[in-house]
Structure 1
Amino acid sequence: MNSLKKPIVVFVLGGPGSGKGTQCSKIVQEFGLVHLSAGDLLRTEMASGSQYGDMIATMIKNGEIVPSIVTVNLLKNAIMVDPSKNYLVDGFPRNEENNNSWVENMTSIVDTRFVLYFDCPDEVMTERLLGRGASSGRTDDNIESIKKRFTTFHNQTKPVVEHYGKQSRVHSINSNRPVDQVYDDVRKLFQTLA
């Protein structure tokens, strides 16, 4: 393998409960990409008792976005474990500052290919999140946190999607359908990535 080849990164964005995690697990299974969930990395860091743990916990509970460099460094460390693989980065970048920090710190290290955007109505996502919250144990799957997460998504994440859209680097998929129908569209997209 050519050691100069950078790992390919695909950003996976969509509102909370739009199906990002479900679709990522299918992509991993079929295409062998590594799934990195920014939220999972932050929750792991939060539980580790590190210097950032308490700050991350407070910000996640309030539906706020953790400082970009913290999240970028967690993602960078995870990617550098095996730079020969390709990655799905789920739930990041969540705002313009996240994206700027990523571009500044990661452009020389990875090939950020495109944004896979799952489009789903807020009402559907709310139902999904409340259903998940009943069994997941996630502190942010309650109606107060969900409302805050939607506000953050619409005000801060959607402009990032639009930014990449202006570069023709967004593949938008309607995720208000059965999982397998959504994945049929996803599969076609990743077959062209190879």
Structure 2
Amino acid sequence: MDQVTTQKPIILFPNQKPWMDREVRLLLIVRNTAFRSGDREAYSVARANLRRGICKAKYEHKQRIEEHFNSADPRRMCQGFQAITDHKSPSTSPTTSSALLPVELNHFYACFEKGRMEPMLKAELLPGEQPLTLSTSEVFATLSRVNARKASGPHGIPGRVFRACAEQLTDVFTDIFNLSLAQAVVPTCFKSATIVPVPKHSAAVTPLQ
């Protein structure tokens, strides 16, 4: 079994939304109480209040995030990126962190070329053949349509970061994609993916009477 299977780490993410505040929690309790009571009118009113409370909480959270980027302070902008990506600093002592930092950097930069032994060679084009290129508008439109509710891939970057920073990332990704198309080579880090198996249970069949 150990020779034919591989081990992969499984990361569990808490389902705690960043815009969830005390008012939304109270409205959620009221909605659940109205549902258990069986009063349809009270339940309908509680659901409407909860929807309005969620929209208000999301708008206020958006305003708080945008305030970080309206300032010229680099620290405030860094805090905004940390809020978008849910970045949390590791709780390690300064002595241990500084001692292991060179090793961690070596492993980080080496992982991009792990398993790649052949050099990158530029593909030769036929006479009159032009390589496929992507425009900045196409890349920007693709980044703007990224589903923010989808889980992040192996890179660990949430989808809402690509949407919020689409304007800043468009030129960088356009150069990377066009270089990959011109050389007919896909970078190794682009070939990794996260596969989540979903169990499928067969529906129970009710016998005909």
TM-score between the two structures when normalised by the length of structure 2: 0.24
Which is strand-richer, 1 or 2? Answer: 1
Higher normalized contact order (CA 8 Å, seq sep 6+, divided by chain length): 1
TM-score between the two structures when normalised by the length of structure 1: 0.26
